[in-house]
Structure formats: structure tokens, C-alpha cells
Structure 1
Amino acid sequence: MMTLITLVANQSLACLSANTQLTDLHKCLNQHFAIYQNDEMSTNNDMLAQLAHLLSQHCHLVNMTALLSSIIQSPTLLKQIAARSYWHGNGFLKVVLLDQGYKLRLHIWFAGTSCEENIHSHRWGFASYVLTGALKSELWADAANDDLAALPCVSKPYPTPSQTPTLMSDEYLYTAKHKNDQNNVAARKQYIGTAHLKKLQNVTQVAGANYVMTPDQLHRINHPGEELVATIICTAPTQVLTNRLFPTTADPKLHPTNLSSDELKHALTCYLNQQRLVA
């Protein structure tokens, strides 16, 4: 029978292991952003491309499985990570592993629950690596903007105008929660008007693939609910406070409830168990 001393020792080792992995990831990512911040010759696209490469090297499924297994065994880390993680209004579990100006996040779409995101842009560029399943998404643009060649995320050939699906949608300017003169300002949305959008492309990224997204690229994820899907993404430091939002409901959820330690542990355990079944 395992003694209390042995149990505590094993939990400490698991905690040290998770902390060590997260510390190593932080050193790698922090160095990456520092290099590009001081390199005037490199572009934002260069930075994102190299970031995607780093995720492929350091955040592949084997490493992330070990990290999540260790986090589950660490009550302290579970509490810290749960306090900044939640079920996103767009239908996925958002687990913020690191928040250091940049954010390293695990996104999980569970099988059996379908969802379609709002079309939106971001306040930062990001790189993503697909851990599990096939991530289905759509790229969109303003219908009045015919300069598609400027969009690095879209592969040619583009749809012809007659083949391009279009959409009329209410547009909001979303402002993230932030500090103003040391005061906390809650997230909010402001109605802008009606926008005419056109779909550029349907995209499917399979496990083992990486991709990048620039801040101004309109997109949304579609999860049919047929399989487990998970990605690890790293967002660059925030560039602006606002982004464009085209909600599918009149009242998109702006203030999600953070997870408890037990809820995060249960969700991560479910993901690891389901991942083993599909591997």
C-alpha cells in the first residue's frame, strides 16, 4: 500500500515535472518574442511562421500529453490554470497554460457537441498546432475588398465572384477587458452596423499540421461534433484592444465563468482518455 509520504513525494515530482515543462516552454517562447521585437528587418509574418515551427517542435502531442498528465497531478497548478480558463462561448474549452504577455493556450472541442463560431478577427496574430482530429474553419473578408492577394492565409486559386458565398451580418467592435489607470475595465461590444461579407475558403487542418493567423483575418471554426479536436495555440502579445465581431446571436457571451480546479481536472482527464482511444 502506498504510504502518505510516498504519495506526497509522487505528487511533488509530478508538480515539479509540470512546472519544469512550463518553465522551459516559457523560456523558449519568451526568447522568440524578444528576438523579433528587437529585429527591425523581420516582418510579423516571419515571426508567426517561426512561432508555428516552435510549436511543432516543442508542443506536439507526446509533450502535451506528458504536460497535461503532470498538471492533473498538481493541485497548485490546477488551481492557477483553472483561474484563467473557461468554456468559450464559441463552443470549445479554453485552457490558458501560460499568460506572459503572449498566451499559450490549449483548445479542445469534444466529440458529440457541434458548434459554429462567430466570424471574428483578433487583437493579435497567432500560430497554432493541431494535436488531435481535424480542425475545420472558414476564411472571410469584406465583400467590398477585392484585394485578396494581400491575404497570406489563403491559398490560390480563389473562388470566382459568382461562386463566392456571401453573408449580411451585424458587426460589433469588441473591446477586451483591460486596465485603465489601474482600474479594471470589463469587456464590451459596440454595434457598428451591417456588413457584407464573402467567404474566401474552407480550410481543414489535420493533426500534426501547423498554421498562422494574422490579426486582421476574419475567420471562424466549425466543429461538426463527429470527433475530438484539440489545438495548442500561442498568441503574440496584444497589438490593439479591439477586434471585429459578427455574432450569430444577439447577445454573445462576453463574461465567461472561470473553471474550478475539479472542473479543469475532469475536462483534461476526459481529453486524455478520449485521445488514447483515437490514437
Structure 2
Amino acid sequence: MMTLTTRAANSTSRAHLSATEQLTAIHDSLNQHFSTHNHHGISSDNKALTQLASLLSQHCHLASITTLLSSLIQSPELLAKIAARSYWHGNGFLKVVLLDQGYKLRLHIWFAGASCEENIHSHRWGFASHVLTGSLKSELWADAANDDLSASRCASKTGPANSRSLTLQTKEYVYTAKHQGGHTPVPAHKKFIGTACLQKLQDITQTAGASYLMTPDQLHRINHPGQELVATIICTSPTQVLTNRLFPTLANPNLQPANLSAEELKHALTRYLNHGRLAA
């Protein structure tokens, strides 16, 4: 296990490196991981994702990411490149795609003062995540068993907010990611497929310094109450799948968010870094 002293020393040694060099070093570690696991076709199983979570805790902890972001905001060309694939996600957080190499390394920031409740959803890939700042509150959901729940019970939310008996009847959609259809780009879109009955399995709080994983088929959502700043670094496994399950809380969730300008990204990252300096 890497100690805080070792992490601080490593981050200090990286401080003289450019943002590009720091990202290259992170990519080398992640690429080796995926080269090994993709060769066996198991990049999203529990063992592979557990190893990925460990890599994030070693190479993408708070000190190293703070050093990286401090260099990034001073690197106009790289900042513009990353801004062009980053945006304010409809689920309430800033999504910064630091690396896109088949796998994706993403920084997610929920700023204080902006509460959000994500859509319940699965993913097109497994991922590992490391909490950098604050406390990440999430929920795990599953399809309710027909023999356990009557239609009337599933017609509305029941029980206390933190109860495993909480059930929900909701519209289900298939979400399709943007992709190329031959020579024609196909935008992200959703298709209604019916009504589902879901049951909450668990409320989870992950605090700063914790790492966790999520398999592709796990239904979940993040709840950010808005009182504190929360940030995570997430790495998604490569995928060939275009669709996942989506249970939107809004009738028309924003599936086509606008990408950031370099100046917008610099402002947001500076705001995050300033919070860290004040907290220290």
C-alpha cells in the first residue's frame, strides 16, 4: 500500500513534468492493464476492475491529480483538446475526459451549491473510481422480483428514504451512444421500451481516498445533496456495446450537452483547485 508520504514525494517529483508527460505516465500504467485484460476479454469482470481501482488509487490520487490539473491549466493547447471532449453532464456534474484511448480516464466534479439526483442507469462498460474530494453518495438498484412485489406496491415510492424496501415504478428506455452508422454520424438517443418496477438494494457513501468498482449491468445513481464539493477520478473499460438501460427522472434528459471552451474548462478547474488550497 502506498503511504501518504510516498504519494507526496511522487507528486512533488511529477511537479516539474508537463501535463502531457504526466498523462503519458498514467496512460502507460492503464494501457498495460487493459492490454493484459482485453487480451483475455475480461476487462469488466470483478477481478480486472478491482485491479483497475488499485491502479487509480496508486496513480490518480488527490495529490497527483492536483499536480496534473495545476499543469493542465497552464497548457493552452492540451487544455483546448481536453475541453473539446468535456462538458457539463445532464446528471449534474462536470465531466472532464483526460484520456480517451479506448478506455477513458474522466474527472467528475459536483460543485457545492448545485444539488442533483441522477437518472437510474446501467453502463456500456465496467469502471473503477477513486474519490478525490468530499463524500460520494450513491444508490444501487435492481429489477424487483415479480413474486415479491404487487403492482400496487410498486406504483409509487414506499418506505423511508434509506430503506431497502423503497420501490419505484418508472419508464424504461434503451440509451444508444453516439456512433458512426457507416459514413453517417448517429447522435445519442433513447427509445422507450416499457415500464419497469425497481427496488433499491443499498445506499452507499464513499469518502475521499476510497476506491470502488461498478460492473456494466449494475443499476445505480448518484445523489449529490449540494452541501459540499465532490470529485472523483473514473476509468471506464473499453467497450463494443452501444446501449445501456436508462430510467430518467426527467421526461427529456439532455443527451446532447455542449462541449466546453478552453476558458470555461480552465475556470472550472481553477475553481476546484482553489477549493483544495482553501481546504488545506
Structure 2 residue 136 is the aligned partner of structure 1 residue 135: yes
Letter in 2 for 1:74: S
Number of the residue aligned with 1:165? 166
Aligned to 2:114, the other structure's residue is in SS state coil
Checking the alignment, whether the CA contact within 8 Å between 2:127 and 2:214 is kept in structure 1 is yes
Checking the alignment, whether the CA contact within 8 Å between 2:117 and 2:223 is kept in structure 1 is yes
Number of the residue aligned with 2:243? 242
Number of the residue aligned with 1:17? 18
Checking the alignment, whether the CA contact within 8 Å between 1:125 and 1:215 is kept in structure 2 is yes
Letter in 2 for 1:271: Y
Checking the alignment, whether the CA contact within 8 Å between 1:81 and 1:96 is kept in structure 2 is yes
Checking the alignment, whether the CA contact within 8 Å between 1:137 and 1:221 is kept in structure 2 is yes
Letter in 2 for 1:29: L
Alignment of 1:98-109 (within 5 A): 98-109=99-110
Q: d(CA) in 2 for partners of 1:200 and 1:255?
A: 30
Number of the residue aligned with 1:211? 212
Which runs of no fewer than 5 residues in structure 2 stay unpaired?
A: 1-14, 148-162
Structure 1 pair 249–27 and aligned structure 2 pair: CA distance change class (3 A): same
Task: Name segments (4+ residues, structure 1) moved above 6 Å.
Answer: 40-43
Checking the alignment, whether the CA contact within 8 Å between 2:164 and 2:200 is kept in structure 1 is no
RMSD (Å) for aligned C-alpha atoms? 2.1
Q: d(CA) in 2 for partners of 1:40 and 1:62?
A: 33
Q: How many residues align?
A: 253
Residue 240 of structure 1 and its aligned partner are, at CA, apart by: 1.0
Residue 166 of structure 1 and its aligned partner are, at CA, apart by: 0.1
Letter in 2 for 1:196: C
Aligned to 2:136, the other structure's residue is in SS state strand
Number of the residue aligned with 1:202? 203
Number of the residue aligned with 2:37? 36
Percent of aligned pairs with the same amino acid:
73
Aligned to 2:31, the other structure's residue is in SS state helix
Letter in 1 for 2:216: P
Q: d(CA) in 1 for partners of 2:44 and 2:196?
A: 30
Number of the residue aligned with 2:277? 276
Letter in 2 for 1:129: H
Aligned to 2:227, the other structure's residue is in SS state coil
Which runs of no fewer than 5 residues in structure 1 stay unpaired?
A: 1-13, 147-161
Aligned to 2:21, the other structure's residue is in SS state helix
Structure 1 pair 192–42 and aligned structure 2 pair: CA distance change class (3 A): closer
Aligned to 1:274, the other structure's residue is in SS state helix
Checking the alignment, whether the CA contact within 8 Å between 2:133 and 2:231 is kept in structure 1 is yes
Checking the alignment, whether the CA contact within 8 Å between 1:130 and 1:208 is kept in structure 2 is yes
Q: d(CA) in 2 for partners of 1:255 and 1:112?
A: 24
What do the CA deviations read for 1:42-78 (whole angstroms, capped 9, x no partner)?
Answer: 8711110000000000000000000000000000011
Q: d(CA) in 1 for partners of 2:22 and 2:74?
A: 14
Aligned to 2:49, the other structure's residue is in SS state helix
Q: d(CA) in 2 for partners of 1:187 and 1:114?
A: 25
What do the CA deviations read for 1:67-97 (whole angstroms, capped 9, x no partner)?
Answer: 0000000000110000000000000000000
Structure 1 pair 23–174 and aligned structure 2 pair: CA distance change class (3 A): same
Checking the alignment, whether the CA contact within 8 Å between 2:34 and 2:43 is kept in structure 1 is no
Number of the residue aligned with 1:90? 91
Instruction: Give the structure-2-normalised TM-score.
Output: 0.86
Number of the residue aligned with 2:187? 186
Number of the residue aligned with 2:226? 225
Residue 39 of structure 1 and its aligned partner are, at CA, apart by: 3.7
Number of the residue aligned with 1:110? 111
Residue 276 of structure 1 and its aligned partner are, at CA, apart by: 1.9
Number of the residue aligned with 1:177? 178
Instruction: Give the structure-1-normalised TM-score.
Output: 0.87
Number of the residue aligned with 1:60? 61
